[in-house]
Amino acid sequence: MYSKIAALAALVAFAEARFGQEGLVQNQISALGNFGNPGQAATLAGASPGVLLGGANACAKLELADQIVAELGNDPEVIAAAAALVAAEKNFNNFAASIPTICSDPNLPATPELRGIVPLVDPGVVGSDIENANSASSLTNPFNADGLSQADVAIANGFSNFTAQASDGSTADVGAGGNAGGNAGGNAGDNAGNNGNNGNGNNVDNGNANNGNNGNVN
């Protein structure tokens, strides 16, 4: 009984730690009160949790990050807070989807200092170890993003288990094409191999039949 309670407590603590990240990003933006006009940082901070919700467009947080820099300036502290938002994990409903969404708009973020940063994803997603390591490193050493969307950058650096989402809300399953192609290729190869084996078998049978016929003639 005690072990079950301890396990449940650990799960609750883990969930609070993960989903508390929204508050961490919000606090980082709120701390920018010395930049821009009075109240601007607080307003921008208040908008940050909403763009990380499961129902939000994947490009919305990049638009907000650009807005933070546009309104508060490009001081390193402002850039760091905006970058944290770009890299933040966007929630998704595990009961409705099994993979996250990443923005496919190549024009976002527009701020040069924010490009090349890829987002964290749910640790339960296949390939999350690669993506989350990439996300951490991209904050200090951004990937090449010339002409690329955040989704493109993620794919180019080894992670494709997600749904790409454009600013207009349209989506594309990035992983499906590759898997379908791999399966199709594998099936084609198997079929070709089976046909080859069948052909060899038929040739052997024909050869035996011919030998038998030759024997009968003799």
Query: For 69-117, what is each residue's pLDDT tens digit?
Result: 999 999 999 999 999 999 999 998 777 788 999 999 999 999 999 999 9
Query: Within this chain, do residues 205 and 133 fall inside the same structural domain, yes or no?
Result: no
How many helical (H) and strand (E) elements, i.e. helices and strands, does the chain have?
8, 3
Query: Within this chain, do residues 34 and 15 fall inside the same structural domain, yes or no?
Result: yes
Query: Within this chain, do residues 159 and 183 fall inside the same structural domain, yes or no?
Result: no
Q: How far apart are CA 115 and CA 118, in angstroms?
A: 9
Query: Within this chain, do residues 143 and 205 fall inside the same structural domain, yes or no?
Result: no
Q: What is the pLDDT of residue 149?
A: 98
Q: What is the pLDDT of residue 200?
A: 43
Q: Where in the sequence is the domain holding 124, given as residue range(s)?
A: 2-169
Query: Within this chain, do residues 115 and 191 fall inside the same structural domain, yes or no?
Result: no
Q: Tally the domains of the chain.
A: 2
Q: How far apart are CA 89 and CA 85, in angstroms?
A: 8
Pair 133, 120: CB distance under 8 Å: no
pLDDT top residue among 88 and 182: 88
Whether the pLDDT of residue 184 is over 70: the answer is: no
Would you state the structure tokens that stand for residue 208, as one six-digit string?
Answer: 């035996």
Whether the pLDDT of residue 34 is over 60: the answer is: yes
Query: Within this chain, do residues 48 and 151 fall inside the same structural domain, yes or no?
Result: yes
Query: Within this chain, do residues 107 and 142 fall inside the same structural domain, yes or no?
Result: yes
Query: Within this chain, do residues 209 and 115 fall inside the same structural domain, yes or no?
Result: no
pLDDT top residue among 211 and 106: 106
User: pLDDT (tens digit, 9 = 90+) per residue, 49-58?
Assistant: 999 999 999 9
DSSP 3-state percent helix, strand, coil across the chain (nearest 5): 60, 5, 35
Residues facing residue 163 across a β-bridge? 101, 173
What are the strands, taking DSSP E only, across the chain?
A: 101-103, 163-165, 171-173
Average pLDDT, the chain: 79
Query: Within this chain, do residues 130 and 188 fall inside the same structural domain, yes or no?
Result: no
Query: Within this chain, do residues 105 and 197 fall inside the same structural domain, yes or no?
Result: no
Query: Within this chain, do residues 142 and 180 fall inside the same structural domain, yes or no?
Result: no
Query: Within this chain, do residues 160 and 53 fall inside the same structural domain, yes or no?
Result: yes
Q: What is the pLDDT of residue 90?
A: 95
Q: What is the pTM of this model?
A: 0.73
